[in-house]
Amino acid sequence: MAAPVPVLVPAGAPGRRPVAVRAAVRGAWRQVSARSAPERRRDRARSWTWRIALADLGTALVLDLATAHTVWREHHGAGPAVWVLDQALVLPVALRRRHPAAVFALLAVVASVQWAYRLALPADAALLLALYTVAAHEVRARAVAAAAVLETGVVLASVRFAPTGDGVIGSLVFLTGLVVAAYLLGRSVRSRHAYLAALEDRARRLEVERDQQARLIQVAERTRIAREMHDIVSHNLSVMITLAAGAAATTATGPVQAAQAMEQVAVTGRAALAEMRRLLGVLREDAPVAGIARPQPGLDQLDELLEQVRGTGLAVQLRVRGRPRAVPGTTQLTLYRAVQEALTNSRKHAQGLTRAVVAFTWRPAELELVISDDGAPAAMMSTATGTTGMGLAGMRERVTAVGGTMTARGGADGGWRVHVTVPLGPADLADPADLA
């Protein structure tokens, strides 16, 4: 059974259940009350255990022993009929929680026979116990009907026997109080059971929701890691391939330049390997959580990225218009990856590429980023749809996640153009260092 969920009681209302829990109790009460008779019998059969059976049997035996002495003293020599009626009132109590309504009906019939024979037996107390059981385990209509039947018996017994010795009125008031107490106690226990059932159901649903939320977070984290892996691998491999090709072409004519290019290949490869190890470590089940919290690249690492691209021989120009402002880390990572992906696609797909421009335009409510190049865009058109890989599709997902928009198409004067717009917060935020 799930652990109970702690419930906070509002200040100023001690003992009063919170609104949400009261609504859950009412819902559980309606569900319990709306169940059909076969469903209720099935539930009772499931809850029937040897422990409950022994407890009810013990209750019946204790009641039998408690009333036997009085029967022997007051009705000694009255014949076996008195003992049969006494046992018929006591022994069915052993099945009171298995068949509440049936046991009460049987006891009511036996009590009516007893009244007809003008016998007042102390075992009539079993009727109060049976009424309590019906009120605690049956629907309201059956509980009210049982209470009405027992109250009728109270009236008849008070008129004929006046069992309390206070006359008809005294006996009627006292016995009616017992009937009301048994009914209310049974309904209170039923309400408490419904309350606990509602709390257990709420605890189970909270556990399910917690597990589902954890799985969703895990899937989202793995998706993010997949995008990061794509950006790292595609960008760094593109740089390494370009440098290696340049070194191979200049080995004979410029060995010094070829050696420098290969050294840059090694530096780029080591950096890519370190980032890949960090991301792959997150995927391990026993990986420390601290590795996930490592700072992600942002706009302050943009110069390093552009220098790395320039090392491949591509002339990249950075332009900044407007006044830079503080930008959330998630947005900075999105912009960094957008520049990285766009330049990687330019080097991989553009034909006749000689230069690229990265332009930031700061406006009061948004930041516009345009990455353009002068390469022939024909070979990149299929990539723009995002159907051949994770490149531009992943970039578009990143931009959309921070509330921005992205388009990628051929430029009006040739080349390829990626246009990104992201919203900004209030303009009075602290200014960071100038990007230029």
pLDDT tens, residue by residue, 321-336: 998 888 888 888 889 8
Confidence at 182, pLDDT banded by 50, 70, 90 = very high
Q: What is the rounded distance in angstroms from the CA atom of residue 253 to the CA atom of residue 278?
A: 39
User: Are 391 and 383 within 8 A, CB to CB?
Assistant: yes
pLDDT at 436: 42
**In a domain? residue 423:** yes
**In a domain? residue 276:** no
Confidence at 435, pLDDT banded by 50, 70, 90 = very low
Mean residue pLDDT of the chain comes to 76
Could you tell me if 305 and 422 lie in one domain? yes
Q: Which of 124-128, 296-300, 395-399 has the highest mean pLDDT?
A: 124-128
The answer to which of 36-40, 288-292, 337-341 has the lowest mean pLDDT is 288-292
When pLDDT is averaged across residues 62-88 and rounded to a whole number, the result is: 75
For residue range 231-260, list pLDDT tens digits in order. 666 666 677 777 777 777 777 777 777 777
85 HSE (CA, 13 A, CB side): 24
**In a domain? residue 412:** yes
Residue with more model confidence, 223 or 1: 223
Confidence at 410, pLDDT banded by 50, 70, 90 = confident
The answer to which of 13-17, 101-105, 132-136, 414-418 has the lowest mean pLDDT is 13-17
Residue with more model confidence, 6 or 154: 154
**In a domain? residue 104:** yes
Could you tell me if 193 and 316 lie in one domain? no
Could you tell me if 199 and 307 lie in one domain? no
**In a domain? residue 357:** yes
For residue range 254-280, list pLDDT tens digits in order. 777 777 777 777 777 777 666 666 666
**In a domain? residue 274:** no
Locus of tokens 């010795």: 165
Domain count, the chain: 2
Tell which residue, 363, 359, 371, has the closest CA to residue 319: 359
Assessment of whether the complete model's pTM goes beyond 0.85: no
pLDDT at 3: 39
pLDDT at 179: 92
pLDDT at 304: 87
User: Helices 80-90 and 125-137 sit at what angle, rounded to 10 degrees?
Assistant: 20
pLDDT at 26: 57
pLDDT at 253: 77
Is 386 a residue whose pLDDT tops 50? no
Is 352 a residue whose pLDDT tops 80? no
Is 420 a residue whose pLDDT tops 90? yes
When pLDDT is averaged across residues 48-61 and rounded to a whole number, the result is: 77
Is 115 a residue whose pLDDT tops 90? no
Which of 178, 208, 238 corresponds to the end of one domain? Answer: 208
**In a domain? residue 320:** yes
Is 64 a residue whose pLDDT tops 90? no
Is 87 a residue whose pLDDT tops 60? yes
Q: What is the rounded distance in angstroms from the CA atom of residue 117 to the CA atom of residue 241?
A: 109
pLDDT at 291: 43
- Domain extent, residue 369, equals 298-436
Contacts of 219 (CB under 8 A, 6+ apart): none
Could you tell me if 38 and 175 lie in one domain? yes
Which of 173, 208, 243 corresponds to the end of one domain? Answer: 208
pLDDT at 393: 77
Could you tell me if 34 and 169 lie in one domain? yes
Q: How far is CA 283 from CA 198, 213, 280, 373, 399, in A?
A: 38, 18, 5, 36, 24
When pLDDT is averaged across residues 24-41 and rounded to a whole number, the result is: 55
**In a domain? residue 226:** no
Could you tell me if 43 and 192 lie in one domain? yes
pLDDT at 18: 52
Which of 175, 208, 241 corresponds to the end of one domain? Answer: 208
Residue with more model confidence, 384 or 18: 18
The CATH number of the domain where 302 resides is what? 3.30.565.10
Question: What phi and psi, each to the nearest 5 degrees, are found at residue 5?
Answer: -85, 125
Tell which residue, 318, 323, 340, has the closest CA to residue 424: 323
Is 14 a residue whose pLDDT tops 60? no
Tokens found for residue 52:
């409950």
